[in-house]
Copies of this chain bind each other. A is one copy, B any other.
């Protein structure tokens, strides 16, 4: 029995119960949304995972990517990153390792954190052969099964990168073609082998494996635009259409899914992308990489991603993939992960302030901060801040003699207005 099967029968499972409690929403609503595929709770039946809800009425969740690359294989460092991500508030971790002993890394990450863990099995399939395009269909499915057996809670499969989207790509004027790593493996594989993507052609087999382990499918955005000029084009919308059909099939098979979204998108096209995806994919939870709202800010892409994520959130985003300052430049360091995560947390909270479901709870936090600010209660402000230590450090570095801050000192607007009103009222 998968969670979705239970939910369709109206059974409030412990996972649903936990999510409902965490979110402050009644369990029946969560159950009904899981049944419809509007909320995903990725928990592999082989692993003890803290259940988190992604989707409708749920607070915005954050994923942190960790993992080795061919150039940097330091497993301990990646474990540290995964743990730090969890400690700094990530709701899920994806192991994107491509270098070193992939099984060992994955096993250790699964043991190191309590939050859901995601992977991209095609990386392992590709690594098993000398050349990427020589991997077999079996390599691909075996990798998925292995990850499922090990307890991975959700896997990205680029099932929307198929011969149809390849043709749309050929008919397009894309500058950067495919910038998704898994998407590029798939595309190269199709070109080399002259066959359709096995994850698409044999999607039912994928569903069988996923169902056996109650593993959630993250339908990858292999066709995501890699630059502003490529945004909102036919290849991307073709992929949304395909993914929407796959969402429908997955729901029928009682397998949970969410859909990954673009990419590089200018501010005024984000609504189109997000609403397009939501419509075409029947309201599936949306997992966003960015969107990055400009191409020319390497070193600041955690911020271009926060801007894009927040704008996307105005139209229905559920799950943000943290972007680090190293994006487009290098494998992120531990510090990059922390910084990216904190900035993504800020963006996620700005979304929660306006999202149906988490809105009231998020609003309470800002309200408490407003009162603490008004009352110049600094300890309370640090307690309520997304990163109280950072705030305290900044304030302490430039102290003031007064109870205000060193920007205004005794000329603090809050203080002046308060005193003026008090004086006036005492006179009346």
Residues of A within 8 A of B (CB): 69-72, 98-99, 123, 126, 132-133, 175-181, 183-185, 187-188, 191-192, 226-230, 266-268, 293-300, 303-304, 306-307, 310-311, 313-314, 325-326, 328-333, 342-343, 346-347, 349-351, 353-354, 363, 365-367, 369-371, 373-374, 381, 384-387, 390-391, 393-395, 397-402, 405-414, 416-421, 423-424
Contact = CB atoms under 8 A, between A and B. Distances in A.
A408 B421 CA distance: 61
A402 B69 CA distance: 12
Nearest to A424: B191
A398 to B, nearest CB: 4
Contacts of A409: 69-71, 98-99
A70 B303 CA distance: 33
A162 to B, nearest CB: 15
A330 B420 contact: no
B385 A297 contact: yes
Contacts of A410: 70
List the 7 closest pairs (A to B, CB-CB), nearest first.
A227-B370, A184-B413, A70-B409, A188-B420, A330-B398, A299-B390, A298-B391
A267 B351 contact: yes
A296 B349 contact: yes
10 contacts: A71-B400, A71-B401, A181-B413, A185-B411, A227-B367, A267-B314, A293-B350, A295-B373, A296-B386, A307-B350
Contacts of A314: 267-268, 311
Contacts of A310: 267, 293, 307, 311
Contact of A330 (B133, B179, B406): B406
